[in-house]
Amino acid sequence: MTLLSATLLLFLVMDPIGNVPVFISTIGHYDKRKQQKIIIRESLIALAVLIFFLFAGRAFLSIFQLSEPALSIAGGIILFIIALKLIFQSSESIFDRRNEGGEPLVVPLAIPYIAGPSAIATVMLLSSREPSRWLEWLIAVTIAGVASGLILLMSGTLSKLLGNKGLSAVERLVGLLLTAVAIQMLLQGIRQFVKSM
């Protein structure tokens, strides 16, 4: 996997366009400056979590005695379920979850919406397959995280420009792309498992 393909994969998995309705629903009642502060903070937390798993991923695999094929298959299944939800459910049913009890911190915006299970599994797979390329994977995670954060900062503008139907269409397109990526991860995991037998 190249740096570009890793960056694009992580960007798609983070799904910032699909997360626009979540952020609007959760922090839309705050003033614009407060919204920006929350988005930047949650994006940085999510990025820190992904970088942590990028470097600690191999240790986690070792501690829990998880093989790379198992992680690949599990990541593929999780990603496939997320992709199906993006394609077949309405944006309201997925994203209209208003925050209760004050300003959101870490949950649910940073985790699981930005740094979700599929994003964590992806960075762990990258680091376990080719650990010597850690700098490239770090660059990919950083670029994808920054790009995701920038899109979320423009969530109000994007929502006005695209409207609910436009956001839903983009969300479904991302879902279709993620379906192909999920199947590829699943097949790769199965192939690796068969070879190791």
Q: What pLDDT band is residue 101 in, cutting at 50, 70 and 90?
A: low
Q: What are 39's two structure tokens? A: 């988005």
Region 147-172 average pLDDT = 87
| Separation between Cα atoms, residue 58 and residue 167, nearest integer Å | 36
Of the chain, the percentage scoring pLDDT greater than 70 comes to: 93
- pLDDT value for 93: 45
- For 89-154, where are the alpha helices, taking DSSP H only? 91-95, 117-129, 134-153
Using one digit for the tens of pLDDT, what is the confidence trace for 76-90? 898 888 788 878 865
Using one digit for the tens of pLDDT, what is the confidence trace for 58-77? 888 888 888 888 888 888 89
Of 89-103, 107-121, 152-166, 172-186, the range with the lowest mean pLDDT is 89-103
| Separation between Cα atoms, residue 13 and residue 119, nearest integer Å | 6
| Separation between Cα atoms, residue 151 and residue 146, nearest integer Å | 9
Region 31-47 average pLDDT = 95
Terminal-to-terminal C-alpha distance of the chain = 25
Q: What are 33's two structure tokens? A: 């400056």
Specify the amino acid at residue 139.
I
